[in-house]
Structure 1
Amino acid sequence: MGTIKRTAYGSFLLLQAAVFMALAACSAPPAEDGISDALREMADAIEARQAGPVVRRLTADFSLARGGEALDREQSRRLLAATLLRYPDISITVTGITVLPDGARPDLAEARFNVLTTGGTGSLLPETGQLYRVESLWRLEDGDWLMVRASARRLME
């Protein structure tokens, strides 16, 4: 009788462990989904002229490589604010998203994608536009994928 109770109890513990692991796996989106969703959220926020949702997707130690220099999170926020002031009409299109999860650390992933930006002051056609290829590193923090660093290079120059 003691063996049956121990076996049943052991099976119960295994079942609990399996359920716990399944729930833990569901708590955070896979890197591909989470990062793609984050990029869409950031693009939508820029088009809605809201810097806050974009900055919240950047880690405290964020770094943006731009023109031979590195901008930190605050400098990147100021650059975004200046861009939003300069161009009342901004359009962002993100394409070709490729996410490469880190094999050793499930909380890290690299993402590469293209960004087409256009901006203007309300006329029918945009005044400016650029196509960028972005390489970025992302980290999972408290269930959200946040950008740690990014570098962008212009395509078609």
Structure 2
Amino acid sequence: MNKHSKRKAYVALPWLQAMLTIWLAGCSAPPAEEGIREALHEMAEAIEARQAGPVVRRLSDDFSLHRSSGEMDKEQTRRLLTATLLRYPDIHLALTGISVLPDGARHDQAQAAFSVLATGGSGALLPETGQLYRVESHWQLDGGDWILLHAKARRMLE
């Protein structure tokens, strides 16, 4: 290798390192964040479409929901969701402030916190009711899907 070829190799090396870094950064989006955000939006869309099934499928068998009124298991949560869908024919959810924190020791576990504005009514122009909640949740990767292990929800204005 002559002197001119060595100089070209040294010039190309930093460029190659920079391109590799950019490429790896683009490919290394955190799977927990993407998967949990996707799961949350899927669940919200299912509720707005008045479908409890997709929501319940995202709950682990030993799921628990802690609310100010007490603790609920998966079956109680399913019944509450079904009753809510029957009571309010027009439900809208707005998820905001979603933050996902992957578990540092286990790639298949993560925490997620978010706010949700839930409004419902009889299908009229303006909602009859509305409530803002803050939710803290624990998720686990199960066969490629993120499922909800437990959640704690509280009204923001309590």
Identity between Structure 1 and Structure 2 (%):
69
Residue 63 of structure 1 aligns to which amino acid in structure 2? Answer: S
Q: Work out the CA distance in 2 between the residues paired with 1:93 and 1:58.
A: 20
| TM-score, normalisation: structure 1 | 0.80
1:53: which partner in 2?
54
CA RMSD of aligned residues (A): 1.2
Task: Within 5 Å, give how 1:62-141 maps onto structure 2.
Answer: 62-141=63-142
Which runs of 5 or more residues in structure 2 are unaligned?
A: 1-26
Distance 1:68 1:108 in 2: 27
SS at 2:123 equivalent: coil
> Equivalent residue of 2:75, what SS?
helix
Equivalent pairs, count: 130
Which digits, 9 at most, give the CA deviation of each residue in 1:113-153, with x for residues without a partner? 00000000111100000000100000000000000000111
Where does 1:1-20 land on structure 2 (aligned, <5 Å)? none
Q: TM-score, normalised by structure 2?
A: 0.80
Instruction: Report the Cα distance in structure 1 between the residues aligned to 2:134 and 2:68, rounded to whole angstroms.
Output: 14
Q: Which residue of 2 aligns with 1:142?
A: 143
Q: Please give the alpha-carbon distance, in whole angstroms, between the structure 1 residues aligned to 2:69 and 2:89.
A: 28
* Structure 1 stretches of at least 4 aligned residues deviating more than 4 Å after TM superposition: none
- Cα deviation for residue 68 of structure 1 reads 4.4
Larger radius of gyration: 2
Q: Aligned partners of 1:48, 1:68: CA distance in 2, in Å?
A: 27
